[in-house]
Chains A and B, each alone.
Chain A
Amino acid sequence: MGRQPHMSEKSQLIDKLCANRDTREAYVRSKVSTSVASQIRAVRRRQDLKQADVAELSDMKQSRISAMERPGTRWNIETLVRLVAAFKFGLVVKIVPFSEMLDWENEFNQDTFDPATIEEDAEFIGTEPRAADSSNSFAITGYMGQTSNVSASILNNYVSEVAIAPAPPIKATNGEATQNQSAAVGG
């Protein structure tokens, strides 16, 4: 039994998303591009950097940084990784249901988005935050819904949501490794 016809704009959207792969692709792309642009702008401002500063840190042109802060600009994962590494953040890519994708979008706020850099990430480094050094680390967070019907090209170039996040903690294989790791960081 098919869906009942709905008149509301929201219901029409849901029907189109369920029925049409191109619509889903455009929809997911819009969420990813806005989210990434907003996160980049947020962390750059949080670190009190100009676009030119970020360009130098990431070995990219200032115009490229500017473009990546504009919703809808095309970029690839490698470019994003390079940028996030320059910021000293992690990055996670994650395939999720549409509902989770929208939860992320609704909860995200550029004004309050404040991920820890690697030096500030006590859970990762296993001790007190330490002074900045030349280390870089990164991980990706992203969501993609309805992947079985979404073209593979999206996976190459887009994820539905990408979040800059502290890198996940390193799991020690035994007590000695944990101790050595702590000693190395502490020393």
Chain B
Amino acid sequence: MEFGTRMERNHWTTGLSANFSEAAQFALISALKDAQKLKTLEIGMFKRHLKGKYRQRRIWELWFDCGDKREYRLLGIFGPERKQVTFLIGCYHKGRNYTPDDALDSAFKRAGDLTDGKATTYERKIPTDR
């Protein structure tokens, strides 16, 4: 599931991965293709829950690289249904800087909006390439 607008449906170059390079988008899709086959989605794969105020909304971050010396992040939450995850925003990270720099706060707000019913999610199909 992804927080976003209907216009962005299934367009991986917009919305969630708009901040990602082409290589990062490929890496993300490959990782998600691999993950969706798993019977059990483990938090270990999603690296960690964020600390501080982000923890109260159970926001976690998925880490991945694509060889361009940036560490990419997908911020998300589990749910709304069992065995579902909702991606809130994609960003990359170098040093202490997130790009976009308001990525964490955006994720926090979006998670709150979902909880409060102010926003909805839509299901995103992972491209199969063939």
Contact = CB atoms under 8 A, between A and B. Distances in A.
Interface of A: 9-10, 13, 22-23, 26-27, 29-31, 33-35, 38, 70-74, 99, 102, 105-106, 108-111
Interface in B10-32: 10-12, 21-23, 26-27, 29-31
Contacts of A30: 23, 26-27, 29-30, 66
B127 A74 contact: no
12 contacts: A22-B22, A30-B27, A71-B30, A71-B64, A72-B27, A72-B72, A74-B65, A105-B30, A109-B37, A110-B37, A110-B38, A111-B38
B129 interface: yes
Main DSSP-derived SS at the A contact region:
helix
A111 B129 CA distance: 22
A57 B60 CA distance: 31
Interface string B87-130: 00000000000000000000000000000000000000001111
A142 B29 CA distance: 20
B27 A9 contact: no
B67 interface: yes
| A-B complex: 9 closest residue pairs judged by Cβ atoms | A72-B65, A26-B23, A30-B26, A34-B30, A30-B27, A71-B31, A30-B30, A72-B64, A72-B66
Contacts of A10: 127, 129-130
Contacts of A105: 30, 33-34, 129
B26 A27 contact: yes
B interface bracket (residues with beta carbon within 8 Å of A): 20 to 34
Contacts, number: 81
B29 A9 contact: no
B34 A29 contact: no
A106 B30 contact: no
Nearest to B21: A26
A73 B68 CA distance: 10
A108 B39 CA distance: 13
Contacts of B37: 108-111
Given A34-B27, A70-B63, A9 B129 contact: no
A70 B67 CA distance: 12
A154 to B, nearest CB: 10
A30 B29 CA distance: 9
B72 to A, nearest CB: 8
